[in-house]
């Protein structure tokens, strides 16, 4: 009667031998068959092209979400009274910081909160320098894109009532 350990040992040795043989065959084909090399390069290029297209689509989708978020924020309007502005600013900054602490899934919402706070702050350039030191870089990048979208909305569309 054959022991179980012997059967397992022979099975593992057979699997190793088959894997090694396939690797040697694949390496031989890769080195000596020009059509095989061409097909490997073609597949690699197609894969890289598909990845670039997917990244482009994802960034376009994110830009569109940012544009829509800025439009919604502008449509909601901003407070005009000094005390309302101050309360609104404090609320939005607190919400933004809380959303930053939640993680990268809520980065767009956090950037939107910081954008709203920036819109009511009396000296936005000072606040941006504070944001540079305190806000995580991914959120700060989204905020910069929102500000760029805000400028394009002001120049592309009819004049806005935003300060």
Angle among Cα 127, 133, 135 to the nearest 5 degrees reads 80
53 pLDDT band, cuts 50/70/90, is: very high
Instruction: Count Cβ neighbours within 10 Å for each residue of 24-33 and write b for 16 or more, e otherwise.
Output: eeeeeeeeee
Q: Is pLDDT of 163 > 50? A: no
137 pLDDT band, cuts 50/70/90, is: very high
Note the helical H segments in the chain. 4-32, 34-76, 82-102, 107-120, 124-134, 137-156
User: pTM value?
Assistant: 0.63
Q: What is the pLDDT of residue 152?
A: 56
Q: What is the tens place of the pLDDT at every residue in 6-44?
A: 999 999 999 999 999 999 998 898 888 889 889 989 999
Domain ranges of the chain: 60-156
Max CA pair span of the chain = 93
Q: How many CA atoms lie within 13 A of 48 on its CB side?
A: 6
Q: What is the tens place of the pLDDT at every residue in 77-121?
A: 888 888 999 999 999 999 999 998 888 888 889 999 999 999 999
């Amino acid at each position: 009667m054959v022991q179980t350990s012997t059967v397992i040992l022979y099975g593992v040795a057979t699997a190793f031998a088959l894997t090694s043989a396939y690797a040697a065959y694949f390496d031989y084909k890769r080195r000596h068959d020009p059509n095989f090399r061409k097909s490997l390069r073609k597949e690699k290029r197609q894969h890289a092209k598909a990845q670039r297209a997917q990244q482009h689509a994802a960034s376009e989708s994110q830009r569109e979400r940012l544009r829509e978020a800025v439009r919604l924020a502008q449509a909601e309007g901003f407070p005009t009274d000094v005390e309302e502005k101050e309360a609104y600013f404090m609320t939005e900054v607190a919400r933004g910081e809380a959303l930053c602490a939640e993680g990268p899934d809520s980065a767009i919402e956090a950037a939107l909160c910081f954008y709203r706070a920036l819109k009511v702050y009396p000296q936005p350039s000072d606040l941006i320098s504070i944001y540079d030191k305190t806000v995580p870089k991914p959120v700060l990048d989204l905020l910069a894109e929102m500000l760029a979208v805000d400028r394009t909305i002001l120049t592309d569309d009819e004049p806005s009532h935003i300060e």
